[in-house]
Amino acid sequence: AQTVTQSQPEMSVQEAETVTLSCTYDTSENNYYLFWYKQPPSRQMILVIRQEAYKQQNATENRFSVNFQKAAKSFSLKISDSQLGDTAMYFCAFTAGGTSYGKLTFGQGTILTVHP
């Protein structure tokens, strides 16, 4: 079984600044994928970024990038030029590949507040 741990229950950042959210995971799988999801007060789960474990290159998506350290089983999310709309709960998630793809294991979540 895999576990996902987010050690920061809450984070805050000033608008336009950079913030990093931490995530560690544990698995015996070789084929897996990692995600960051955003959940604003509307409850809608929104994919922020996706990383394939077999890719060494860190995923980037506009202002969002990850630092994927496979050996350390670490997967942090960096948000640059933070915007008020980034305020939300952020979840780190894991899924194995193959027939288990889509069965997500989530971390506890980090509440991010962006201040004007």
Q: Where on the chain is the footprint of another protein (CB under 8 A)? A: 35, 42-45, 47, 50, 91, 95, 97, 101-109
**Distance (Å, rounded) from C-alpha 98 to C-alpha 78?**
28
Smallest gap from Cβ 16 to another protein, in A, equals 29
Q: Which is nearer to another protein, 13 or 89 (CB)?
A: 89
Spatial separation of the C-alpha atoms in residues 47 and 112, rounded to whole Å: 16
Contact by Cβ (8 Å): 32, 104? no
Q: Which is closer to another protein, CB of 41 or CB of 85?
A: 41
From the CB of 44, what's the least distance to another protein, in Å? 6
Kindly tell me which of 14 and 32 has the beta carbon lying closer to another protein: 32
| Minimum CB distance to another protein, residue 43 (Å) | 4
